[in-house]
Amino acid sequence: MPTTTWNRHHILSLADFTTAEYDTVLQTAASFQEVLSRRTKKVPTLQGQVVANLFFESSTRTRSSFELAAKRLSADTLNFAAATSSMTKGETILDTAKTYLAMGTDIMVVRHREAGVPNAIAAEMDRLGVRVSVLNAGDGQHEHPSQALLDLFTICTLIDPASPRLELLKGKKIAIVGDILHSRVARSNIWSLIASGAEVHLAAPPTLLPKLFAEYISEESGARSQESEVRSYSPNPQLFLHWQLEPALQNADFVMTLRLQKERMTAHLLPSLREYHQLFGITRTKLQLCKPNVKVLHPGPVNRGVEISSELMDDPEFSLIQSQVTSGVAVRMALLYLLGSGKA
């Protein structure tokens, strides 16, 4: 394991992550990736610690990935699913968290459909003066740090498997395409990719990429907005907004596609899924605009044939979707290890 100092007690957002923190996560994940390639894929690092997965919203890969990561570190795991819990009897979120605290939980992995719930639980734990760490596994439309970190790890290990590090992405062009408005994955990825020195090109129809989105990013990063052309807009030298797909794909090194989050759409934001696919769906033909060895990512779950064509999704020449899922376990082991190793 790399020797490192890690001072962060909760992982709630990537907005203030430092280069050193990104690199520590990447290097630690690389050593766990090596552990996962052994015959015995388990280490005793978190023996005796309790990791509680508090998923107040549905999940397949994130929940299973955190559970497997905790088990591979020899932690004891508790799994909570809102639909079958005492929340149906009126128990509050904070009382639920305190119940898990009373059972000796060391790390709470929290997902909720409302932004800010992991922060509220973390604040309550701090107020109580307990050494419980909270890890945000996706809160509303706000952030999904572990997904962005596993996306970063997937890309960096592709470029340099022996030594994944943030600077490998400097100058690369990365397109993020799709339902950016509702995407916590996009928001977390924007922080990590901008920190790496990459150029980030967002592309979506105006209803899914309001210009206001740029203000959110530029306000938080202190950048000043400057209008460029009508179909594109660049609020900071590394971030570009496009209301057409082509300028985002032109010479891109990586394309991140996002699911149309129909469950979060409160209005009719699109004429039809067919038209959306025609204009913004990623296909092999459209990838010809990109660099020849372009790779495509998607956090899953995928609407096949909507944001990405079914054949492209399954094409190992272009698609990194399965390696994202595989990387997820190593990256989450790294995060649990970094939060948990100080608690022994």
Which of 148/168 has CB closer to ligand NCD?
Answer: 148
Q: How far apart are CA 68 and CA 77, in angstroms?
A: 9
Contact between 144 and ligand NCD by CB under 6 A: the answer reads yes
Instruction: Write out the two tokens for 90.
Output: 């009126």
CB of 243 to ligand NCD, least distance (A): 21
Choose, by CB under 6 A, the member of 25, 185, 209, 249 that binds ligand NCD: 185
Instruction: Write out the two tokens for 7.
Output: 């001072």
Residue 174: exposure state from Cβ atoms within 10 A (0-12, 13-18, ≥19): buried
Cβ-Cβ contacts under 8 Å for 296 (sequence gap 6 or more):
254, 255, 256, 257, 282, 287, 308, 312, 318, 319, 320, 321
The pair phi, psi for residue 291, each rounded to 5°, is: -60, 150
Window 61-100: contact mask with ligand NCD (x via CB under 6 A)? xx--------------------------------------
CB of 116 to ligand NCD, least distance (A): 15
Q: Is 259 annotated as a binding-site member?
A: yes
CB of 73 to ligand NCD, least distance (A): 20
For residues 111 and 137, the answer to whether their CB atoms sit within 8 Å is yes
b/e map 87-123, b = 16+ CB within 10 Å: beeeeebeebbbebbeeebbbbbbbbeebebbbbbbe
Distance of CA 121 to CAs 56, 77, 179, 341, Å?
13, 19, 28, 21
User: Site size for ligand NCD, by CB under 6 A?
Assistant: 11
Which of 112/295 has CB closer to ligand NCD?
Answer: 112
CB of 198 to ligand NCD, least distance (A): 20
| Residue tagged 């809102």 (tokens) | 82
Residue 301: exposure state from Cβ atoms within 10 A (0-12, 13-18, ≥19): exposed
Choose, by CB under 6 A, the member of 261, 283, 326, 341 that binds ligand NCD: 261
Q: Is 89 annotated as a binding-site member?
A: yes
Choose, by CB under 6 A, the member of 259, 277, 295, 332 that binds ligand NCD: 259
Q: How far apart are CA 289 and CA 251, in angstroms?
A: 6
Q: Is 42 annotated as a binding-site member?
A: no
Grouping H, G, I as helix, E, B as strand and the rest as coil, residue 84 is helix
Site for ligand NCD in 282-311 (CB under 6 A): 299-300
Choose, by CB under 6 A, the member of 118, 138, 145, 205 that binds ligand NCD: 138
CB of 261 to ligand NCD, least distance (A): 6
Q: Which residues are annotated binding-site positions for L-aspartate?
A: 89, 184, 259
Q: Which residues are annotated binding-site positions?
A: 61-62, 89, 111, 144, 147, 184, 259, 300-301
Q: Which residues are annotated binding-site positions for carbamoyl phosphate?
A: 61-62, 111, 144, 147, 300-301
| Interface contacts to ligand NCD, rule CB under 6 A | 61-62, 138, 144, 147, 184-185, 259, 261, 299-300
